[in-house]
């Protein structure tokens, strides 16, 4: 589904990704862990097409298409979803209207007719229940006045509505209390299928108690330096990152 080969990227002349390789297949959950400054969020930004990042080498293909050649909206329409680390507050843009526009622009891209209003509302209710988001929040302006936990739940809610092939969760667990963490993780687990995949970027092992990964990658200095199964995360939690860095050297 996603193939990243020797990806190199920089921001304002500072090299962040230095030859990253990663392959994600349908049905898989990949966790990416690593110390601060390793390049985790840069990876998420480059994959989703955020401005200001320059790809200096390597490739990323998504279902055979050159991902890096697509506009952010085309990536989203192809089925890539980024759950933001810091969801943006957009006063005046209604959550529901925004989602309806998004759903229908994606459908148009796929050559489908707009979703009938009735079906849309049904879907909206169903997915709200999934992430335990009150209908009151869904009607408000996008993220405006939401608490940290509500913003993250709203991200998962949007992901549920858009049903992407690949979901990238950029530190979705940061700033969440235990209950919110459980709700967010439950949401992801319910969305999981043999046809889609997730990349979970996190600092802590805690989230991985709830979303069990098939692979755990350690990102350090712009490269994946170790890959293991879920036990690697437990080991990291216990020992920190230094032993891997030392091993690498």
Partner 1 sequence: MSTFKYIANFVEGFKSNDWNLKTSEGVDFPTRKTEYYKYTSLKKLSTQRFASISSKVDARKVFEGLDDYATVLVFVNGFFDASQSKGLTDQVSVVSKLDSCPAFLTSQKNVDQLFTSMNNRFATDGLVIDLKGVLKQEVLVLNILDASGMASFTKNSIRLDKNAQCSVVYKTISTGQNLEQFSNNYFEIELSDNAILWFYNLQNGTKALNLIEQVESHLSAGANLHYFCISKAGKLVRNNINNKITAPSAEVNLYGIMLGEQGSHIDHHTLVDHDTPHTQSNEIYKIINKEASTSVFNGKVLVRPDAQKTNAYQSSSAILLDDASNVYAKPELEIYADDVKCSHGSTTGQIDKEALFYLQARGLSKTTAKKMLIEAFLTEVTDLIESEKAGVLTSQMIQEYFS
Strand boundaries in 34-89, DSSP class E: 53-62, 65-66, 80-83
CB 68, CB 78: distance < 8 Å: no
By beta-carbon proximity to partner 1, the closer residue of 105 and 179 is 105
Closest approach, Cβ 75 to partner 1, in A, equals 8
Distance CA 145, CA 159 (A): 20
By beta-carbon proximity to partner 1, the closer residue of 75 and 226 is 75
CB 209, CB 24: distance < 8 Å: no
By beta-carbon proximity to partner 1, the closer residue of 22 and 162 is 162
Applying CB under 8 A, which residues contact partner 1?
48-51, 71-73, 75-77, 81-82, 84, 87-88, 90-93, 98-99, 101-103, 105-106, 109, 141-142, 158, 162
By beta-carbon proximity to partner 1, the closer residue of 90 and 129 is 90
- For residue 173, what are the CA distances in angstroms to 8, 150, 151, 187? 26, 12, 11, 13
Closest approach, Cβ 167 to partner 1, in A, equals 12
Q: Would you state the structure tokens that stand for residue 100, as one six-digit string?
A: 């309806």
By beta-carbon proximity to partner 1, the closer residue of 160 and 236 is 160
Closest approach, Cβ 247 to partner 1, in A, equals 36
By beta-carbon proximity to partner 1, the closer residue of 85 and 205 is 85
Which residues have a Cβ under 8 Å from the Cβ of 98 and sit 6 or more positions away? 90, 142
Closest approach, Cβ 87 to partner 1, in A, equals 7
Q: Would you state the structure tokens that stand for residue 225, as one six-digit string?
A: 């330096």
Closest approach, Cβ 146 to partner 1, in A, equals 13
Q: Is 18 exposed, middle or buried (0-12, 13-18, 19+ CB in 10 A)?
A: middle
Closest approach, Cβ 219 to partner 1, in A, equals 21
Dihedral class, residue 224 (left if φ above 0, else alpha if ψ from -120 to 50, else beta): beta
Distance CA 227, CA 244 (A): 11
């Amino acid at each position: 589904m996603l193939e990243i080969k020797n990806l190199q990227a920089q921001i304002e002349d500072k090299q962040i990704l230095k030859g990253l390789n990663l392959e994600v297949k349908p049905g898989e959950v990949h966790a990416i862990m690593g110390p601060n400054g390793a390049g985790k969020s840069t990876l998420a930004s480059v994959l989703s097409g955020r401005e200001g990042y320059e790809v200096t080498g390597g490739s990323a293909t998504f279902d055979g298409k050159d991902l890096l050649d697509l506009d952010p909206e085309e990536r989203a329409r192809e089925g890539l979803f980024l759950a933001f680390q810091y969801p943006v507050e957009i006063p005046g843009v209604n959550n529901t209207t925004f989602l309806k526009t998004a759903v229908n622009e994606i459908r148009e891209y796929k050559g489908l007719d707009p979703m009938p209003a009735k079906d849309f509302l049904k879907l909206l209710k169903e997915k709200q229940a999934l992430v335990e988001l009150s209908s009151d929040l869904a009607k408000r302006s996008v993220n405006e006045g939401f608490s940290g936990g509500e913003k993250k739940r709203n991200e998962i809610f949007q992901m549920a509505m858009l049903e992407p092939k690949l979901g990238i969760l950029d530190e979705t667990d940061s700033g969440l209390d235990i209950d919110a963490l459980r709700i967010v993780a439950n949401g992801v687990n319910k969305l999981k299928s043999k046809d889609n995949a997730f990349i979970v970027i996190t600092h802590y092992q805690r989230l991985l108690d709830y979303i069990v990964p098939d692979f755990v990658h350690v990102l350090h200095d712009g490269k994946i330096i170790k890959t293991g199964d879920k036990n690697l995360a437990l080991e990291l939690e216990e020992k920190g990152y230094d032993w891997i860095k030392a091993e690498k050297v």
